[in-house]
């Protein structure tokens, strides 16, 4: 998975301005009484504030890039310092903006002021010392994840494993004991982070309340052009549309795991053990496709094997992604992208390997940072990350506060919608396949895709469900871990393979929890990408099963896509969705359309089985 939006805004804290500037702009100059606000002052406030915000954001983005690529004590301090200034300044700007509430403003001005009040992902308390403490804690949490290693008993330092190495083992091992050791080893890094997280929650909630929100979760849920409670209900509605498909997949996968590991390890009718699903967080199951492949229909092709046999290098993987966007009529990436991006894990220093897209100057300095593996998964991730970059460039002409996607799910969905066009027909055009496989191979392809996309849905939902409960106080520090696993069992039907207690802090073992990245965007992205794909395929004039559509080479689809991206955040997301698809409501039925043949097959396979958990 990746980070969406320009990376400081998306990954950490949001947009900010300087306190001195705000004091001047809102009329609190020494010796001068505050005058009644006017529409003209609102425009002047925005123009000056946005100019300052951009300067601060670029500085913080650059500091964050350096830290992520050269993790040292000093770069950590520099990053924290830049973000500390950014946090404090944005709080001041957000608290100044309500002065213009109730004025008869131009709609664009009113929207920008509203977005300014909602622009923070992590608002800091007004107290300067509390702000400093918050930035130190969040930087330390990110550093714990980035530098975390598991050292097997007796292992030398050079033989210790980071999360990338452990992920490779979980992806390929079929030894339950080895899988369990790796799974528990990574989580051992985070047990003593509970107190740190508790303090983060206290400080972040203090900042959110200063902006008029009940807690940080309420602030996060307010960013979707609807009331916070309405957004929570919308998430539940969308999950209800796809839940039957997930449960059918879960039932079939469990039956195959019972065959592979035996009933002592995988109990029929019970939740799935988290360590056996081929992924550190059991959020994608595609790495265990070999255990569940439908042999009678064939497993389709193996893109990882094709890439390895052709000795495709990391830069070539990215070139293929760029080529897809170019085929739609979009301009190539700038030369600086190739000069400044990180494609390989360095051997001489620690870096944050988690894939992410960057727009360092908020205009044309586009980059990705990714320790690329030559795999089918990373082939898709590259398309995803480049989607962020093309989106960033498309809206660069908007005012600063509109330089964002229509909602954060749009940013995540865009690249994945492109990746849905990585079909056999497309791979034939690339020369990876000699001919498109027959329709009889579609079942294997759909199952492989579902092991990634459908398997992710409940995880994408529950991460923020957990945080909303923590931020609201419904779940206290003495129940962090119990609540995490209760939600995983409820939504995913997944359980920890060994007993966990409140001495553990397993939520922090997920990057987005340690890095304070809201996660609902990823759930929305998995819904929207199929809706985008269905809409783009209609524009391209495709007729046939949705899973066989590729818009590669279709400039009509590219024109419509670029027009939507160029809107940025200037309009509510239903307007942007309508511009691309003709629909104004998020609709998970496109997922059901895409996987319809698989659902029919799963129902046949599950006859006579005990499903559910």
pLDDT in tens, 53-97: 889 989 999 999 999 999 999 998 999 889 878 777 777 788 788
**What pLDDT band is residue 404 in, cutting at 50, 70 and 90?**
very high
Contact at 8 Å (CB) between 555 and 205?
no
Q: What is the pLDDT of residue 331?
A: 97
User: Which residue among the candidates 80, 355, 406, 507 is catalytic per the annotation?
Assistant: 355
Q: What is the pLDDT of residue 35?
A: 54
Report residue 22: phi and psi, to 5°. -60, -45
User: Which residue among the candidates 181, 376, 412, 562 is catalytic per the annotation?
Assistant: 412
What is the arithmetic mean of pLDDT over 387-413? 93
**What pLDDT band is residue 211 in, cutting at 50, 70 and 90?**
confident
What is the arithmetic mean of pLDDT over 121-137? 88
Number of Cβ within a 10 Å radius of residue 255: 18
Q: If 0-12 CB within 10 Å is exposed, 13-18 middle and 19+ buried, where does residue 184 land?
A: middle
Does residue 355 have an active-site annotation? yes
Does residue 85 have an active-site annotation? no
User: Which residue among the candidates 512, 526, 533, 547 is catalytic per the annotation?
Assistant: 512
**What pLDDT band is residue 2 in, cutting at 50, 70 and 90?**
very low
**What pTM does this model have?**
0.83
Q: Considering all CA atoms of the chain, what is the largest pairwise distance in Å, rounded to the nearest integer?
A: 83
What is the arithmetic mean of pLDDT over 393-402? 95
Please report, to the nearest 10 degrees, the dihedral formed by the alpha carbons of residues 177, 182, 186, 192 taken in order.
Answer: 30
Q: What is the pLDDT of residues 425-436, one digit of tens each?
A: 889 999 999 888
Among candidate residues 350, 307, 400, 313, the one with its CA nearest the CA of residue 108? 400
What is the arithmetic mean of pLDDT over 275-281? 97
Contact at 8 Å (CB) between 261 and 612?
no
CA–chain centroid gap for 543, Å, is 31
User: Which residue among the candidates 250, 252, 275, 354 is catalytic per the annotation?
Assistant: 354
User: Which residue among the candidates 50, 206, 385, 562 is catalytic per the annotation?
Assistant: 385
Query: Residue 359: beta bridge partners?
Result: 366
Which is it for strands 494-495 and 356-359: parallel, antiparallel or unpaired? unpaired
SS3 374: coil
User: Which residue among the candidates 252, 275, 383, 384 is catalytic per the annotation?
Assistant: 384
Instruction: Report the distance separating Cα 18 and Cα 56, nearest Å.
Output: 9
In the DSSP assignment, the letter for residue 150 is B
What is the arithmetic mean of pLDDT over 451-470? 97
DSSP for 176-244, written as a single string = HHHHHHHHHHHHTTSGGGHHHHHHHHHHHHHHHHHTT-SSHHHHHHTSSSS-HHHHHHHHHHHHHHHHH
SS3 content of the chain, % helix, strand, coil (to 5): 65, 0, 35
Which is it for strands 366-369 and 494-495: parallel, antiparallel or unpaired? unpaired
Q: What is the pLDDT of residue 585?
A: 96
Given a cut of 60, whether residue 386 has pLDDT beyond it is yes
Token readout for 598 is: 């698989």
Q: What is the pLDDT of residue 298?
A: 53
Q: Where are the alpha helices (DSSP H) in 395-504?
A: 408-419, 424-430, 442-472, 480-487
Percent of the chain with pLDDT over 90: 72
Given a cut of 50, whether residue 17 has pLDDT beyond it is no
User: Which residue among the candidates 388, 411, 533, 547 is catalytic per the annotation?
Assistant: 388
What is the arithmetic mean of pLDDT over 175-203? 94
Does residue 391 have an active-site annotation? no
Does residue 384 have an active-site annotation? yes
Instruction: Report the distance separating Cα 537 and Cα 558, nearest Å.
Output: 11
Work out the mean pLDDT of the chain and round it to a whole number.
89
Does residue 61 have an active-site annotation? no
Given a cut of 60, whether residue 358 has pLDDT beyond it is yes
Does residue 354 have an active-site annotation? yes
**What pLDDT band is residue 296 in, cutting at 50, 70 and 90?**
low
**What pLDDT band is residue 352 in, cutting at 50, 70 and 90?**
confident
Given a cut of 50, whether residue 254 has pLDDT beyond it is yes
Q: What is the pLDDT of residue 113?
A: 92
Q: What is the pLDDT of residues 512-569, one digit of tens each?
A: 999 999 999 999 999 999 999 999 999 999 999 999 999 999 999 999 999 999 999 9
Given a cut of 80, whether residue 301 has pLDDT beyond it is no
Percent of the chain with pLDDT over 70: 93
User: Which residue among the candidates 522, 525, 576, 594 is catalytic per the annotation?
Assistant: 522
């Amino acid at each position: 998975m990746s980070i969406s939006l320009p990376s400081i805004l998306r990954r950490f804290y949001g947009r900010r301005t300087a306190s001195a500037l705000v004091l001047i702009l809102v009329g609190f100059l020494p010796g001068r009484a505050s005058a009644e606000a006017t529409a003209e002052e609102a425009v002047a406030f925005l123009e000056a504030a946005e100019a300052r915000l951009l300067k601060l954001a670029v500085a913080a983005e650059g500091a964050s890039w350096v830290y992520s690529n050269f993790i040292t004590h000093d770069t950590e301090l520099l990053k924290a310092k830049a973000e500390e200034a950014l946090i404090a300044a944005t709080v001041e700007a957000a608290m100044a903006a309500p002065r213009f509430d109730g004025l008869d403003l131009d709609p664009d001005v009113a929207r920008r002021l509203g977005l300014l009040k909602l622009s923070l992902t992590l608002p800091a308390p007004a107290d300067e010392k509390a702000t400093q403490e918050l930035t130190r804690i969040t930087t330390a949490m990110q550093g714990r994840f980035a530098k975390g290693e598991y050292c097997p008993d007796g292992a030398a330092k050079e033989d210790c494993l980071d999360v990338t190495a452990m992920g490779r083992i979980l992806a390929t091992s079929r030894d339950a004991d080895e899988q369990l050791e790796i799974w528990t080893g990574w989580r051992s890094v985070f047990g003593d982070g509970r107190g740190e997280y508790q303090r983060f929650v206290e400080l972040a909630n203090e900042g959110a309340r200063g902006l008029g929100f009940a807690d940080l979760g309420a602030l996060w849920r307010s960013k979707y052009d609807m009331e916070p409670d309405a957004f929570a209900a919308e998430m539940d509605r969308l999950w209800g549309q796809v839940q039957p498909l997930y449960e059918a997949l879960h039932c079939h996968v469990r039956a195959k795991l019972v065959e592979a590991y035996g009933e002592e390890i995988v109990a029929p009718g019970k939740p799935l053990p988290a360590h056996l699903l081929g992924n550190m967080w059991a959020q994608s199951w595609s790495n265990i496709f070999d255990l569940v492949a439908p042999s009678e229909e064939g497993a389709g092709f193996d893109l990882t094997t094709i890439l390895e046999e052709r000795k495709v290098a990391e830069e070539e993987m990215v070139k293929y992604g760029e080529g897809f966007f170019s085929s739609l009529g979009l301009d190539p990436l700038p030369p600086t992208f190739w000069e400044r991006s990180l494609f390989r894990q360095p051997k001489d220093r620690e870096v944050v390997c988690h894939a992410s897209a960057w727009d360092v100057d908020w205009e044309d300095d586009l980059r990705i940072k990714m320790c690329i593996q030559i795999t089918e998964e990373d082939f898709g991730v590259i398309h995803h990350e480049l989607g962020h970059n093309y989106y960033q460039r498309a809206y660069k002409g908007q005012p600063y506060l509109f330089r964002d996607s229509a909602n954060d799910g749009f940013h995540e969905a865009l690249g994945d919608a492109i990746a849905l066009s990585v079909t056999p027909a497309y791979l034939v055009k690339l020369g990876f396949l000699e001919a498109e496989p027959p329709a009889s191979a579609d079942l294997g392809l759909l199952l492989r895709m579902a092991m990634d996309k459908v398997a992710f849905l409940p995880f994408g939902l529950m991460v923020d469900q957990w945080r909303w409960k923590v931020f609201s106080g419904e779940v206290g520090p003495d129940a962090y871990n119990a609540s995490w696993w209760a939600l995983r069992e409820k939504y995913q039907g997944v359980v920890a393979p060994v007993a966990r207690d409140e001495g553990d802090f397993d939520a922090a073992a997920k990057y987005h929890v340690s890095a304070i990245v809201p996660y609902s965007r990823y759930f929305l992205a998995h819904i929207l990408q199929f809706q985008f794909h269905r809409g783009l395929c209609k524009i391209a004039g495709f007729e046939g099963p949705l899973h066989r559509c590729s818009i590669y080479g279709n400039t009509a689809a590219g024109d419509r896509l670029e027009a939507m991206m160029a809107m940025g955040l200037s309009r509510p997301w239903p307007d942007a969705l309508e511009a691309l698809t003709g629909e104004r409501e998020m609709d998970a039925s496109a997922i059901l359309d895409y996987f319809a043949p698989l659902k029919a097959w799963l129902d046949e396979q599950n006859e006579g089985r005990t499903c559910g958990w």
